[in-house]
Amino acid sequence: MTASLRENCADILCIGAQKASTSWLHHVLNAHPRTYSFPDSEPVTSTTKEAHFWDWNHKRGADWYRALLLPDDDPTRLSMDFTPEYSMMSERDIAECKELNPTARVIYVLRDPLARAISALRMHILWRSGNAAESELEIAFDDALLSLIETARIAEMSSYMANYLRWAKQYDDILVLNYEDIVAAPLRVMRQIYQHVGLSVDHMPPVARAEFDKRMQKRIWASTPYPVRADVLYFLHGMLWPKRQAAERFFKMTFKEYEDVLRAAI
């Protein structure tokens, strides 16, 4: 099977959210021999997980995207693109995504907006500071924070309902997950994901299943826990409360992480 005969560039798309365990999900899913991760091509992609086609690399064209995701040994393997920024794509870009990936299986992981925002801000501060140690920085309420909130697109990334509705116009079977369920019952959620993409945990070859079990125990990326001032927490809590309420009502799920976050500020 050649690239021109493949139905999709990406067979499995994970559209976010950022800091919602997408790296771990990708790592565990990639234990299956029928899945495929493209080679690292830093700085074009920077990882084997995120192609960043519609934000960083769109100018490279669809042929570049197709070639990047084409499995080099077996074109029937399921190619994956886990780019959290895709959740914020425009309707026009999502329509193009549908043209390039007409039967892709889409996964959208949601996380409590406050907890996710804090983790994202810590990640951005880590990048900006050149990997400063935890003791060297504190997240305070100042002009730099407001700029960082905008740069990190905290509001847009947390607009789960609006993001989903744009994607649902093109894809009618999006698997929506709660990060807190991943933490509480990782194996159950991974079975759900495997089923969604047409794979099976129980029918993996023994070597692959052993690797799957090993990867289930890993934690891929944890943000440096820079201290966060209480006024920052309360500001973000107020800013993101409507986002949480809308998501809980629409998706019929409950987020509890924010309670522990605020309790720590007391």
Under 8 Å between Cβ of 47 and 40 = yes
Q: Look at residue 119 in the predicted model and tell me its pLDDT.
A: 93
> Which stretches of the chain drop beneath a pLDDT of 70?
1-4, 42-43, 46, 130, 220-221, 266
Structural domain of 22: 3-265
Tally of structural domains, the chain: 1
pLDDT at site 266 = 59
Bridge partners of residue 156, in order along the sequence: none
What CATH number does residue 50 fall under?
Answer: 3.40.50.300
Contact present, 6 and 99 (Cβ < 8 Å): no
Tell me, what's the pLDDT at 145?
Answer: 92
Q: What is the pLDDT of residues 17-33, one digit of tens each?
A: 999 999 999 999 999 99
Beta-sheet strand order (sheet of 175-178): 35-36, 78-82, 12-14, 105-110, 175-178
Sign of torsion, CA 131 133 134 136? negative
Global model pTM greater than 0.85: yes
Q: Is 215 left (phi over 0), alpha (psi -120 to 50) or beta?
A: alpha
> In this predicted structure, what is the pLDDT of residue 1?
44
Q: Which ranges of 52-159 would DSSP assign to H, the alpha helix?
A: 62-69, 91-100, 113-129, 143-151, 154-157
Q: What is the pLDDT of residue 211?
A: 97
Phi-psi region of 245 (alpha: psi -120 to 50; beta: other; left: phi over 0): alpha
H-run or E-run covering 187: helix 186-196
Among residues 1, 33, 14, 60, the alpha carbon closest in space to that of 210 is found at: 33
Residues 201, 83: contact at Cβ < 8 Å?
no
* pLDDT in the model for residue 197: 98
Under 8 Å between Cβ of 105 and 13:
yes
3-state SS assignment for residue 36: strand
